[in-house]
């Protein structure tokens, strides 16, 4: 399933059409999968219209399908299984500017578990998890540059003479409440990224109003 920003915008746009939105809301509020006939009867919409919109929602990954004989019979004469629709497993998390709260939640939850097992510092556990996550991003980047990876993960990189400034913090709401925790997490995440992707940069804490607290600077550079 395409999880790119463009694909998520397209999926949301599909719900702009009022009939399609009504059908989606109907299907996801039912206790079980829904047939075209059931949806058509419940919403008083022609079956052909229902079929078109349900299939469009499925095409965009908002609904999924399964097949079932509603007659309760099986074998010869039981008829063809009906095509049924239900909510898909796809998650859409679209924020402007882009945020990555699910990433923060996974890192923090894993760090709490690590700290409970080891008896060590939760903050150190967060930093270790963040660095490991950053390293994994770098290892799986393929031919992508550091700016491309930063952009893909919501940091809004701004390359300049002094390195790469980051115009957006993907964890802004949490950072507003816990700046030291989140800035440390960002620092270790980005340090892990450049360590496996582009060692010509290093991550530094450079708090700047309206920006992420971390900046990528040329490796070996003195003061910033």
Q: Tens digits of per-residue pLDDT, 55-85?
A: 999 999 999 999 987 665 555 555 678 899 9
Q: In a 10 Å sphere around its CB, with 0-12 CB exposed, 13-18 middle and 19+ buried, how is residue 190 labelled?
A: buried
Percent of the chain with pLDDT strictly greater than 90: 73
Quick one: average pLDDT of 95-122? 91
DSSP per-residue string spanning 102-171: HHHHHHHHHHHHHHHHH---HHHHHHHHHHHHHHHHHHT-TT--HHHHHHHTT--EEEETTEEEE---TT
Quick one: average pLDDT of 161-174? 93
Confidence of residue 25 (pLDDT cuts 50, 70, 90): very high
Quick one: average pLDDT of 98-115? 93
The whole-number pLDDT of residue 220 equals 77
Q: In a 10 Å sphere around its CB, with 0-12 CB exposed, 13-18 middle and 19+ buried, how is residue 18 labelled?
A: exposed
pLDDT at residue 224 tops 50: no
- In the chain, where the domains are located: 5-87, 101-218
In the CATH hierarchy, which fold is given to the domain comprising 5-87? Arc Repressor Mutant, subunit A (1.10.10)
The whole-number pLDDT of residue 83 equals 93
Percent of the chain with pLDDT strictly greater than 70: 92
8 A C-beta contact, residue 185 and residue 107 = yes
Q: Tell me which of 78 and 118 has the higher pLDDT.
A: 118
């Amino acid at each position: 399933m395409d999880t790119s920003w463009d694909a998520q915008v397209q999926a949301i746009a599909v719900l702009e059409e009022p009939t399609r939105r009504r059908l989606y809301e109907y299907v996801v509020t039912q206790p079980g999968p829904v047939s075209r006939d059931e949806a058509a009867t419940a919403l008083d919409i022609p079956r052909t219209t229902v079929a078109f919109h349900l299939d469009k929602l499925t095409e965009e990954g908002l609904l999924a399908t399964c097949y079932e004989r509603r007659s309760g019979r099986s074998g010869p004469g039981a008829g063809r299984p009906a095509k049924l629709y239900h909510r898909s497993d796809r998650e859409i998390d679209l924020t402007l500017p882009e945020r990555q709260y699910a990433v923060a939640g996974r890192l923090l939850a894993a760090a709490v578990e690590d700290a409970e097992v080891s008896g060590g510092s939760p903050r150190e556990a967060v930093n270790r998890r963040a660095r490991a996550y950053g390293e994994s991003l770098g290892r799986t980047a393929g031919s992508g540059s550091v700016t491309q990876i930063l952009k893909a993960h919501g940091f809004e990189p701004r390359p300049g003479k002094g390195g790469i400034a980051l115009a957006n913090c993907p964890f802004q709401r949490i950072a507003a409440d816990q700046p030291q925790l989140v800035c440390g997490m960002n620092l270790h995440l980005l340090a892990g990224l450049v360590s496996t992707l582009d060692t010509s940069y290093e991550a530094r804490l450079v708090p700047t109003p309206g920006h992420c607290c971390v900046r990528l600077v040329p490796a070996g550079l003195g003061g910033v």
